[in-house]
A and B are shown apart, each in its own frame.
Chain A
Amino acid sequence: MQGPSILPLALENISLQHEGLPILDRINMLVARQRTTVVLGPNGAGKSMVLKVAHGLISPDAGHVRWSNLSGAKAQTRQAMVFQKPVLLNRSVLSNIVHAVRLQGIDKAAAVHRAHMALERVGLGDLAGRRARSLSGGEQQRLTFARAWARDPEVLFLDEPTASLDPAAGWGIEEIIVELRREGRTVILSTHDLAMARRLADDLVFLHRGRALEAGAAATLLTAPRTAELEAFLKGELRW
């Protein structure tokens, strides 16, 4: 990772509507450097939307996304997102990563080198020549991580990265996340998986029906919730 940090990231009073119905309602959120911020909440709470707004894919109807000292355009090149549902090009495993790296203006030879390194790191080194869409779900998810990694981002948005995986594959992804963090990258991760939040979160934002009901240090919130909703969610009793 080179260049000045684009962090901290501040979401200020973000609101988003769809056909008059609120999807996000005055969300405030602060993401500090070199920490893992977990956006926790039940299905439909708005987790994916928060990540997409923060990543710049969706413009909010109100509020601001502020990166430190940099214009949004420049900040975009230092971020990567892993989507809830992997989107892979109809090409080989290697070409998927090479394409993503070359979009950063890096030449072909360097991009291929980076792609091979990234594949090794996620344990897909032997599958470089396979068609990406012929991979299993878990392998596809590891490929999307390799693709994000190869772009050397300072900030990673991870949207429910283990939601559709079996426990072993989920562990594999968590190990990759720990490694990304160890390298000093900042992770913003959404999940409804409480156990995963306990293992990975430094900071936590609890989202419910488009509102951020609680935010703060994970250790505090997960042991001493202030709202009835989070308390119920921790007990596994919160219904949408």
Chain B
Amino acid sequence: MTDIAAGFAAAFQLLLSFDAGLWEIIALSLEVNLAAVFLSCLIGLPLGGALAVYRFRGRKALIILINALMGLPPVVVGLMIYLMLSRSGPLGSLNILFTPGAMIIAQAILVTPIVTALTRQITEALWLDYREQLTSLGSSRMRAIPTLLWDGRAALFTAVLAGFGRAAAEVGAVIIVGGNIAHHTRTMTTAIALETGRGNLALALGLGIVLVTLAILLNTAAWMVRERSMPEAALLGVDR
């Protein structure tokens, strides 16, 4: 008990004193997570929209595959990227193993299926409603994709946050391709794994507190966006 209490006390002290080592780790984590989510959106939003509006052979199989990829084990993705990027691997000449770049790629691979699958689901529901009207207005399927993405923006924001949550929480992929190198590729999750093993509970707990706070903030943001997107419900005081 006293261990835990002392750990929390030390953790808060680190946080409140803006410990440079701690904030360096937090900043790098956020950079990597945000870059990975950005890449995933660049691919996943248009791809999910396209899967919603186009009909082609193999579409169902592709959707099932992407849904399955949502559950990819991070360590396996880490291993695959490691093999690709290592000296003797096909992309070894890039020389980016054990850099933040490698971590971004690994996390983007984990997050893209989530953004794609959820985008497909959200925009396809809209497409069912809009299809005849948009076709009547002379909108092509291609042109309908940005319309659907914009109209589904509130739900899509939640999907992107889910992707961010996955990136922020995972440790298996970044530890393999990043190597957990101090001042270079050490993120919150890899640091927690390392410092706990070393018995440095204050730092581990401090980072844990930041991670949990981040999760709460994200969910609050998602909730507020949903709230704002449904003013009719707010007007009626409807319980959601």
Contact = CB atoms under 8 A, between A and B. Distances in A.
Nearest to A80: B136
A52 B132 contact: yes
A87 B132 contact: yes
Interface stretch (B137-145, B158-166, B191-199): B137-145
A179 B27 CA distance: 63
B147 A99 contact: yes
A83 B147 contact: no
B133 interface: yes
A57 B132 contact: yes
B135 interface: yes
Given A99-B147, A131-B231, A134-B231, A87 B130 contact: yes
Contacts of A80: 136
Nearest to A82: B136
Contact of B133 (A76, A79, A83): A83
B31 interface: no
A105 B46 CA distance: 22
Interface residues of B, number: 17
Interface residues of A, number: 21
Interface in A76-101: 76-77, 79-81, 83, 87, 89-91, 99-100
Interface in B178-235: 229, 231-232
Nearest to B135: A57
A55 interface: yes
B7 to A, nearest CB: 48
Nearest to B133: A87
Interface string A38-79: 000000000000001001010000000000000000001101
Nearest to B140: A103
A104 interface: yes
Nearest to A79: B136
B232 A103 contact: no
Contact of A103 (B132, B139, B150): B139
A133 interface: yes
A134 B233 CA distance: 10
A76 B139 CA distance: 11
Main DSSP-derived SS at the B contact region: helix
A76 B138 CA distance: 7
A57 B136 CA distance: 7
Contacts of A134: 231-232
Contacts of B151: 89-91
A103 B143 contact: yes
B132 A133 contact: no
Given A131-B231, A133-B232, A87 B129 contact: yes
Nearest to A58: B132
B141 to A, nearest CB: 13
A100 B132 contact: no
Nearest to A104: B138
B20 to A, nearest CB: 46
A134 B234 CA distance: 12
A77 B135 CA distance: 11
Contacts of A83: 132-133, 136
Most buried by A among B136, B143, B147, B232: B136
A49 to B, nearest CB: 12
Given A87-B130, A131-B231, A134-B232, A55 B147 contact: no
A89 B147 contact: yes
Contacts of A131: 231
Contact of A81 (B130, B136, B143): B136
30 contacts: A52-B132, A55-B136, A57-B132, A57-B135, A76-B138, A77-B138, A79-B136, A80-B136, A81-B136, A83-B132, A83-B133, A83-B136, A87-B129, A87-B130, A87-B132, A87-B133, A89-B147, A90-B151, A90-B152, A91-B150, A99-B137, A99-B147, A100-B137, A103-B137, A103-B138, A104-B138, A131-B231, A134-B231, A134-B232, A151-B137
Interface of B: 129-130, 132-133, 135-139, 143, 147, 150-152, 229, 231-232
Given A55-B136, A81-B136, A89-B130, 17 more contacts: A57-B132, A57-B135, A57-B136, A79-B136, A83-B132, A83-B136, A87-B129, A87-B130, A87-B132, A89-B151, A91-B150, A100-B137, A103-B137, A103-B143, A104-B138, A133-B232, A134-B232
Q: Ordered nearest first, which 3 A-B pairs have the shortest CB separation?
A: A87-B133, A90-B151, A81-B136
